[in-house]
């Protein structure tokens, strides 16, 4: 009986901690995936709008906003 408890202490606890950490990391990975997808959409819209202005346009002037103030991503 004592041997079983020792084995559980040696293997069970690290397994429980590993599963807990994997579940937490999975949630964060899902959030990062969503953020990357939103960024892709915003960049597509931005590049599409920028392409409509012509390829010869110089870089944005300092202080010129890329997105209108108050826009929600």
Please report the DSSP string for 13-71 in residue order. HHHHHHHHHHHHHHHHHHHHHHHHHHHHHHHHHHHHHHHHT-TTPPPPPTT--SS-TT-
38/67 Cα distance (integer angstroms)? 15
Q: What is the pLDDT along the chain (73 residues), one digit of tens a residue?
A: 788 888 888 888 889 999 999 999 999 999 999 999 999 999 999 988 887 665 555 555 555 555 555 565 5
Which pLDDT does position 64 carry in this prediction? Answer: 56
Which pLDDT does position 67 carry in this prediction? Answer: 59
Which pLDDT does position 28 carry in this prediction? Answer: 93
Picking from 33, 14, 37, 36, the residue whose alpha carbon sits closest to that of residue 25 is 33
Which pLDDT does position 41 carry in this prediction? Answer: 94
What are the domain boundaries of the chain? Answer: 19-51
pTM (predicted TM-score): 0.48
């Amino acid at each position: 009986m004592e041997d079983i408890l020792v084995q559980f202490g040696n293997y069970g606890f690290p397994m429980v901690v590993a599963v807990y950490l994997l579940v937490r990391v999975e949630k964060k990975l899902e959030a990062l995936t969503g953020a990357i997808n939103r960024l892709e959409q915003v960049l597509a819209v931005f590049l599409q709008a920028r392409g409509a202005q012509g390829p010869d346009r110089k870089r944005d002037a300092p202080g010129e906003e890329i997105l209108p103030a108050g826009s929600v991503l």
